Amino acid sequence: MRSSRPLAAAALLFLGLTACREEPETAPASANPAATSVRVAAASSIELPSYYEAVGTVRARTSAVIASKIMGSVRDVRVRTGDAVGAGQLLLTIDSRDLDGAIRQAQASHEEALSARGEAEHAVAAAQANLDFAKSTFRRMQELYEKKSISDQEFDEASSKLKSAQAGYDLAAARRATLGAKIQQASEAVSSAEVVRGYAEIHAPFGGIVTEKPVEPGSMAVPGTPLLTIEQAGSLRLEVPVEESLLSSMRVGQPVTVALDSLGSTLQARVSEIGPQVDPASRAFIAKIDLPNVPHLCSGVYGRALLARHAIGCRGAARGGR
C-alpha cells in the first residue's frame, strides 16, 4: 500500500498538466494574395546571320613554271629562291655556241644568194633586150612578107628567132624568181636561227617572286623540264573547298572574312571565282577568294574562310499582361 501512493500522485500530476495545455494558434489565410506580373510574347520568324567555315590554302593567282625550249648546258643562273624579279629580267642563260654557228651558216647562205642576184638581174636584162630586138625584126619581116618582098624561109627564120628570144627571157625571169625565193628562204633561216639563239636567254614573263629553283649552273636543260617557278607579286588568293549544299547560294563578289592564323590577322575579302564542278569524292566545289596585299603573306599559307549564310530563328514580340 505504501509503494503505490507515489505512483498515484505522479499520475494525477501528469493528467493535470495535460488538461492545462492550450492548442497552438493558426494564422488566418490571406483572402487577397499578391498578384504576379506575366509577359506574353508572340513568336515570329526572322533571319539571323550564320557562318560556314571552310579551310584551304593560299595560292598565287598567277604563276609560271619556266622551262627551256632548247637542250643545252645551263651556263649561268642569276637568281635565287625568294628573289624578287622584274618583267623581262634575265634569269639564266644556256650554252649557245652551237646556235651561234647555225646563225653564221644561215647568214653565209643568205649572202651567197644575194651575190647571185646581180647576175640574175643582168641575165634578165640581156634576155629582155634580145626579145625586144627579135620582136622589132619580126614586125619588119612580117610587113615585107605581106608585100611579097621576102621568101617564106626568111619569114620563118624571123619567127623562129622571136620564139627563141621569148623562151630565153622566160628562162631568165624564172631563174630570177627562183633566186628571189632562195634569198627569202635564206633570210628566214637567219631569222629562225636568231630566234632559236634567243631561247638561250630566259627572261621573266612578269614581275614576281622566285619560289622554286631546281637548276644550277652546269645542269642540262631539257625542253619541258622545270627550271624555275615564279609567282606574281601581290596576287594571292585563298582556295577553299565548300560543301555542295552551298553551291546555289554562293555568288561571285560575295563578301568573305578570311582568318590567317600564321599571321594572326583577319581580312575582309570577296569571292572571285566559283568552281563549275563538284568533286564526286569530297562532294565539294572550289571557291577562290582574292586577298589584299598583306606583308609576309605567301603561297602555301593555311587560311580559314567564314562564309555568311542565313538561318531561320525566332523572335518574340512581347506584350504586357497580368
Q: Are residues 218 and 147 in the same domain?
A: no
Residues 184 and 249 in one domain: no
- Domain membership of residue 151 (yes or no) is yes
Give pLDDT, residue 6. 53
What CATH number has the domain bearing residue 211? 2.40.50.100
Distances (CA, A) of 233 to 32, 116, 179, 293: 82, 55, 52, 9
Q: What is the CATH number of the domain that holds 156?
A: 1.10.287.620
Domain range for 262 is 49-61+235-321
pLDDT in tens, 41-100: 677 666 555 778 999 999 998 899 999 999 999 999 999 998 999 999 999 999 988 899
Same domain, 82 and 106: no
Same domain, 113 and 172: yes
In terms of domains, do 187 and 107 share one? yes
CATH number, domain of 55, equals 2.40.30.170
263 in the same domain as 189: no
13 falls within a domain: no
45, 175 Cβ separation under 8 angstroms:
no
57 lies in the same domain as 106 = no
Amino acid at 126: A
Domain count, the chain: 3
pLDDT of residue 11: 52
Q: How far apart (Å, rounded) are the C-alpha atoms in residues 68 and 201?
A: 9
Whether residues 181 and 149 fall in one domain: yes
Residue 230 near residue 85, CB atoms below 8 Å:
yes
In this structure, the answer to whether residues 194 and 113 fall within a common structural domain is yes
**Residues in the chain with pLDDT < 70?**
1-36, 38, 41, 44-49, 309-322
pLDDT value at position 3?
47
Query: Given this model, what pLDDT does residue 318 score?
Result: 42
pLDDT at 319: 43
Rounded distance between C-alpha atoms, residue 203 and residue 92, angstroms = 7
Q: Is residue 165 part of a domain?
A: yes
Q: Model's pTM, two decimal places?
A: 0.60
DSSP string, 149-171: -S-HHHHHHHHHHHHHHHHHHHH
Q: How many CB atoms lie within 10 A of CB 109?
A: 17
Both 273 and 301 in a single domain? yes
Locate the DSSP E strands across the chain.
38-60, 63-67, 72-77, 84-85, 90-94, 201-203, 208-212, 220-221, 226-232, 236-243, 255-260, 265-274, 284-290, 302-321
Flag whether 24 is in a domain.
no
Residue at 258 is within a domain: yes
305 and 253 within one domain = yes
Q: Is 85 a member of any domain?
A: yes
Residue 135 lies in a domain: yes
Kindly state whether residue 5 falls inside one of the protein's structural domains.
no
Query: Do 102 and 188 belong to one domain?
Result: yes
Report how far apart, in Å, the C-alpha atoms of 119 and of each of 180, 206, 228 are.
Answer: 12, 50, 52
For residue 53 the three cell numbers come to 567555315
Q: What are phi and psi of 198, to 5 degrees?
A: -65, -25
pLDDT at 229: 94
